[in-house]
Structure 1
Amino acid sequence: MRVLVTRPQHSGERTAKRLRELGHEPILLPLSHPVHDANEALRGLSTTKGSIAITSAETIRALAAHDAELAVHLARPVFAVGEATAEEARAIGFSSVTASGGSGAELAETIAKKAGGSVLYLAGSPRAATFEKRASEIGLRITVAECYRMEPTPIAPSTLHSIFAHQRPEAILFFSRQTAKYFFRAAEPQMRPDRADGIRLLCLSKSVAEVVPASLQGAVSIAAMPEERSLLSLL
């Protein structure tokens, strides 16, 4: 099956590898890219103590080139959404890493049960409010340090035309609301109902699926859990 991957380049390449292992043909179309702010992350680390929360592996990539400054913080407990993000934290040297389930709410509940106290949230922008909302509800004290932001990657109309003319995808993967918004804005000519017939729109969560135009909602499937493995199981 030809599968269009709309993730940023680094994450998209990882997803493409998994798709090939499953026997599919990935088509990479990065619609956003990260702009890192390691200084903000390091400032947050240096002015706090205790647990660290991360909801995206992009946080770890923002810190990857700062081994010396990071070294004194590697013993701090890290709580991550999903095993993939936890693995990235371990790879950079954090020695105490706990993976929660695939949602921000589960992350907040896991921290409250296992650690409590104040928590530094190394976050990105834009982001879902799930983790912070649940943390507030259960009395978890959060300090936020925004260490990256996702910005749209311009896509030439000719690129989209070529993909849909010569590699027409049978499924499109959407991992975030913002990426889905970028896609349907850029690919409006290709995704008119009369042209998009037969293309499956696979969304990581209900929140992501809400961005899909009403005329295409019949093609939407939503992952049972907000994690890549669950999303790929829909193929």
Structure 2
Amino acid sequence: MRVVVTRPEISAAKTAERLKRMEHDPVLLPLSNAMHHHQLAADALASPHSALIVTSAETLRALAEIGSDAGIDDRTTLFAVGEKTAAAARSAGFRNIHIGSGDGAGLADLIASKFDQPDLPLLYLAGKPRAGSLELRLEELGLPVRVAEIYEMIPVDYRPEEIDERLRAHPPHAVLLYSRENTLRFFEIAEQHAVSLPETAFLCISTRTADAVPAAFRPRVRVAESPDENALFALL
């Protein structure tokens, strides 16, 4: 099966290897690349906080680049949105990790179960753009949170011949879609280059992601049972 991978390049390479082991034919089409804000991250970490919140492995890559200024030690409490992010946190040196079920609202509920009323604000090391459900839920629960946007995802542009090679000349059987923003960008490119994809399935990691698929393509949308790549692969 020819499968388009729309994740950023570093993550897409890992996904491609998994697809090859499953005897699929991965087609890399990264839709964004991360820009890290090192000084903003260092400044945020230097301010008092009760615990860190991380919802993406990209955050851990950004922290790795500021080295000792990250101030990571075994005592630092970190809340990770899911197992994949937690694994990246372990690799970065964190040990006191609490793992959520995969979405922002659920992570907020986990944090509330661990903290009654922290003396210091929680520090959410976030990216841009993002859904905003995590900080909204924390506010509803009365938990103080400070958001530091330490990276942002910059859209990738493609030349017509690159789109021809990846999408038009050999139309894919499936496209893996990982976020609302990721999905909007994919269909923006498809429309810009007049790519129709009449037989392609669109495999979405969540209902929020699926909601961003244009109405004309929704009959071919399938949604993962849980917001993680294992569940997404189960749709193949």
Q: Which TM-score band applies after superposition, normalised by the shorter structure? A: over 0.9
User: In structure 2, the residue corresponding to 1:187 is in which secondary structure?
Assistant: helix
What is the CA-CA distance between 1:75 and the residue it aligns to? 2.4
The TM-score, its normalising length taken from structure 2, stands at 0.93
Report which stretch shifted further, 60-69 or 213-222.
60-69
| Cα distance between partner residues in 1 of 2:177 and 2:14 | 15
- Residue pairs, 1:58-207, within 5 angstroms: 58-73=58-73, 75-116=75-116, 117=118, 118-188=121-191, 189-192=193-196, 196-207=197-208
- Residue pairs, 1:28-43, within 5 angstroms: 28-43=28-43
User: In structure 2, the residue corresponding to 1:30 is in which secondary structure?
Assistant: coil
The TM-score, its normalising length taken from structure 1, stands at 0.93
Q: Tell me the matched-pair count.
A: 232
Q: Is the 8 A contact 2:167 2:195 kept in 1?
A: no
What is the CA-CA distance between 1:72 and the residue it aligns to? 4.9
Q: Is the 8 A contact 2:72 2:93 kept in 1?
A: no
Structure 1 runs of 4+ off > 3 angstroms? 71-74
What is the CA-CA distance between 1:73 and the residue it aligns to? 4.9
| Cα distance between partner residues in 2 of 1:108 and 1:84 | 17
| Cα distance between partner residues in 1 of 2:107 and 2:4 | 29
| Cα distance between partner residues in 2 of 1:73 and 1:42 | 15
What is the CA-CA distance between 1:65 and the residue it aligns to? 2.2
Q: Is the 8 A contact 2:179 2:205 kept in 1?
A: yes
Residue type at the aligned position of 1:55:
T
Q: Matched residues, percent identical? A: 40
Q: Residues 49, 165 of structure 1: CA spacing in aligned structure 2 closer, same or farther, 3 A cutoff?
A: closer
Q: List gaps (5 residues or longer) in structure 2.
A: none
Q: Is the 8 A contact 1:35 1:148 kept in 2?
A: yes
Residue type at the aligned position of 1:224:
E
User: In structure 1, the residue corresponding to 2:171 is in which secondary structure?
Assistant: coil
Residue type at the aligned position of 1:213:
P
Partner of 1:221: 222
CA RMSD of aligned residues (A): 1.5
What is the CA-CA distance between 1:55 and the residue it aligns to? 0.5
Q: List gaps (5 residues or longer) in structure 1.
A: none
What is the CA-CA distance between 1:13 and the residue it aligns to? 1.1
Residue type at the aligned position of 2:127:
G
Q: Find out whether 1:232 has 2:233 as its counterpart.
A: yes
Q: Residues 75, 164 of structure 1: CA spacing in aligned structure 2 closer, same or farther, 3 A cutoff?
A: same
Q: Is the 8 A contact 1:31 1:155 kept in 2?
A: no
| Cα distance between partner residues in 1 of 2:79 and 2:174 | 32
